[in-house]
Amino acid sequence: MKIIHISDIHLTIPGEPMGGLDPHARFARALADVTTNHPDGTRIVITGDLAHWGEYAAYEALQRAIADLPIPVRLIIGNHDDRPTFRSVFASQPVDANGFVNHAETVNGVRFLYLDSVGERTHAGHFCAARRTWLQSELESCDRARIFLHHNPMQLGLPAEDKIALVEEDRGPFRDLIEEYAAKIDYIHFGHVHAPIHGRYAGVQFASAPSTGNQSIPDLGETELLKGAPLHPAYFVLLIDGDDTIIHQIPFAWDGPVLTAGTEWEDWAKPVEAAE
């Protein structure tokens, strides 16, 4: 099974730039790359920060952009999103009994859990008792699970960024839940940090996807300022076989040279060029 993980597309009202670039053009290019090279994808999951200012016209643009894709798309909201506006545009978007954009589906025997970690008027992540109940119920009733959310639920050793991780009072309960069900959770996937960060937490592997826009530069000493740069964007391709996962980072907007090997793998002769 192949899953496409895209994150932090930060769409604006079409025509308005974001961070010095056109987020719509970037997103379109990412989608074109997906449909050209990965039409066999089972799902495209976009882990939040769908609209930078949470605007109606930005969500409408997103709706148009994904309308005719050959791969089903699943949407998760992030700290830049506006839940009511998002829901008003995506009227058929499933939500939980409390109106959170929590939804789930079983894909090839694995329960995909799409978690809403957004708090009101804050960039930090939230995981309140109601959402805890929803996640626990899902984890309890499934055989295998894979969790997608926007915020990093753990601190990442990036003091400035960690200020907008899941808030401290919610990190413990989230971790407790992951530890309790670690044996059946294959992976945790998130965005938010605009950087590829991989690791293991509470007994479960995790990976954050880059943004399709600007990237953050990991600064393990910076305590105040988030640092970003127009590094090359990417999305992830997850190759999933049972509970094995392989993650490829696809630099879909790379315009530089692409080099190909000129010798067979079993040709050990030193090329003449190298000796000159």
Output the smallest distance, CB 8 to Fe ion, in A. Answer: 4
Q: Considering beta carbons, is residue 8 or 116 the nearer one to Fe ion?
A: 8
Q: Considering beta carbons, is residue 49 or 161 the nearer one to Fe ion?
A: 49
Q: Find the part of the chain contacting Fe ion (CB under 5 A) among 6-14, 53-61, 92-100, 131-139.
A: 6-14
Output the smallest distance, CB 213 to Fe ion, in A. Answer: 8
Output the smallest distance, CB 101 to Fe ion, in A. Answer: 16
20-49: contacts with Fe ion (CB under 5 A): 49
Quickly tell me which residue has 């090997």 as its tokens: 261
Q: Considering beta carbons, is residue 8 or 22 the nearer one to Fe ion?
A: 8
Output the smallest distance, CB 138 to Fe ion, in A. Answer: 25
Q: Considering beta carbons, is residue 111 or 189 the nearer one to Fe ion?
A: 189
Q: Considering beta carbons, is residue 10 or 111 the nearer one to Fe ion?
A: 10
Output the smallest distance, CB 164 to Fe ion, in A. Answer: 10
Do the strands 215-216 and 228-229 form a parallel or antiparallel pair, or are they unpaired? antiparallel
For position 161 contacting Fe ion by CB under 5 A, the verdict is no
Output the smallest distance, CB 80 to Fe ion, in A. Answer: 6
Distance set, CA 168 to CA 124, 127, 164, 173 (Å): 10, 10, 10, 10
By rule CB under 5 A, what string of x and - marks binding of each residue 43-82 to Fe ion? ------x---------------------------------
Q: What is the spatial distance between Cα 125 and Cα 119, in angstroms, rounded to a whole number?
A: 6
Contacts 24+ apart (CB under 8 A), 131-140: 131/96, 131/98, 131/100, 131/102, 132/173, 132/174, 132/177, 134/96, 134/98, 134/100, 134/102, 135/102, 135/177, 136/177, 138/104, 138/111, 138/113, 139/113, 139/177, 139/180, 139/181, 139/184, 139/185, 140/181
Which pair of structure tokens corresponds to residue 72?
A: 């089903």
For position 8 contacting Fe ion by CB under 5 A, the verdict is yes
Q: Tell me the DSSP string of 115-170.
A: ---B-TT-SSB---HHHHHHHHHHHHH-SSEEEE-SS-SS--S-HHHHTTSB-HHH
Output the smallest distance, CB 238 to Fe ion, in A. Answer: 20
Q: Find the part of the chain contacting Fe ion (CB under 5 A) among 4-12, 27-35, 57-65, 261-269.
A: 4-12
Q: Considering beta carbons, is residue 69 or 226 the nearer one to Fe ion?
A: 226
Quickly tell me which residue has 């290019």 as its tokens: 29
Contacting residues toward Fe ion, per CB under 5 A: 8, 49
